[in-house]
Structure 1
């Protein structure tokens, strides 16, 4: 019995009911790890991110608010310091301008203290020259505490010595505020023979003592500010 030629399995014949040859695993199926990575963020991760952004926003807002508050405090302190400097400079100019007037022998002292009505704190009363570059012109100046404000009043000075038979009417003072939110002011005067003397004592003295210096104490917000001014040039 003669056998035919051998045919390799799978080449010469095909079995019915079988499809194309299978492809190995991993060549056509996608990797499960790549599918998991391509799904994006989970809801929990999004909530954590939103919470972190909210915390950063709150911290940023608080930081900005702190910076703005600090800037406002600095601006307010600068304004208060500038107002103090202007007030003390004006007071020093008035006190120094009254020194030469005290040598003229007028009918009222160049530097004195007065009490008006029911006021407890005496006012500083000055007679000073208005300007050194003009003919001699005198001016009345007052410093007082009114409704928690340090105010300066000024008006032209008139004297009854010009014409004793003619009555003299003083012009009303024009008041200008210098400092606000003042709790208290205190004046003292330097008398050569007595030293520092309270203004209330000198108010009863009727200006008979010559004042060589003025001390002003301002109380504001629990803080005491003291300024000493020499009357002599």
Structure 2
């Protein structure tokens, strides 16, 4: 009996807990693991945010250029517009386009893209049914009845070039007007009198520069196709 008690006392006296140094080492290891885990999680969150921002910018660019593509494709002819259907003046791109409304005769519409306070805004006139309405819309500003649709923010500048057959890419409206004058003169030739008036501008190149971009984004559109 005495032997058993002594053995139990020896066993109890040999049992011990963690020392202070061991606890400090364990806490240090857990702290390192926590910091590494936090950094990894932070990188994942930052990466996800970067991808989300890039996808949003891509969506905004797609919306802007898709609307420009539709307007260029539905551009009226120069004789319908009574002048160049597509014109560029500074940071303003103007397109005279055909407008099809359900249950109504075809109309024309004047569309302008301009940069206002770092944002690309698409201004569109109401449907124009007469030559007088068209002339007033072309001469005036974006007044009553015009719609304004903001398409993209953070834009530094927007510029455009026009492709004129036999001339090439140009930003000069005199080249466009020269093509219109040549087409009008060709109508006086008997052999070409019944031919349709060709477009003075057959291609449109639009460049958009934004603060978040290292270089401008450029897109090319066919006119009237």
Counterpart CA distance in 2 for 1:37 and 1:136 is 101
2:205 corresponds to 1:231: no
Q: Secondary structure at the match of 1:143?
A: strand
Counterpart CA distance in 1 for 2:35 and 2:113 is 50
Matched with 2:99 is 130
Q: Which residue of the other structure, out of 61, 64, 81, is the alignment partner of 2:58?
A: 81
2:175 corresponds to 1:184: no
Counterpart CA distance in 1 for 2:101 and 2:166 is 30
Q: Secondary structure at the match of 1:140?
A: strand
Assess if the C-alpha contact under 8 Å between 1:122 and 1:144 holds in 2: yes
The two structures, once aligned, show a CA RMSD in angstroms of 2.9
Q: How many matched pairs?
A: 196
Assess if the C-alpha contact under 8 Å between 1:149 and 1:182 holds in 2: yes
Counterpart CA distance in 1 for 2:136 and 2:45 is 57
Q: Judging changes above 3 Å, is the alpha-carbon distance between structure 1 residues 43 and 36 closer, same or farther for their aligned structure 2 residues?
A: farther
Counterpart CA distance in 2 for 1:37 and 1:195 is 96
Unmatched 5+ stretches in structure 1: 1-22, 115-120
Q: Judging changes above 3 Å, is the alpha-carbon distance between structure 1 residues 85 and 143 closer, same or farther for their aligned structure 2 residues?
A: same
Counterpart CA distance in 2 for 1:135 and 1:158 is 11
Q: Secondary structure at the match of 1:215?
A: strand
Q: Give the superposition deviation at 1:140.
A: 1.0
Matched with 1:102 is 77
Q: Give the superposition deviation at 1:184.
A: 2.3
Assess if the C-alpha contact under 8 Å between 1:159 and 1:168 holds in 2: no
Q: Give the superposition deviation at 1:35.
A: 4.1
* TM-score of the superposed pair, with normalisation by structure 1: 0.72
Q: Structure 1 runs of 4+ off > 3 angstroms?
A: 30-37, 103-106, 157-163, 167-171, 204-209
Matched with 1:146 is 116
Matched with 2:203 is 213
Q: Give the superposition deviation at 1:130.
A: 2.3
Q: Secondary structure at the match of 1:41?
A: coil
Q: Judging changes above 3 Å, is the alpha-carbon distance between structure 1 residues 217 and 33 closer, same or farther for their aligned structure 2 residues?
A: farther
Aligned residue runs from structure 1 range 163-174, under 5 A? 172=143, 173-174=146-147
Q: Secondary structure at the match of 1:56?
A: helix
Q: 1:77-115: CA deviations, max 9, x gaps? A: 1111111111111000000111xx21653333321123x
Aligned residue runs from structure 1 range 9-28, under 5 A? 28=5
Q: Judging changes above 3 Å, is the alpha-carbon distance between structure 1 residues 32 and 63 closer, same or farther for their aligned structure 2 residues?
A: farther
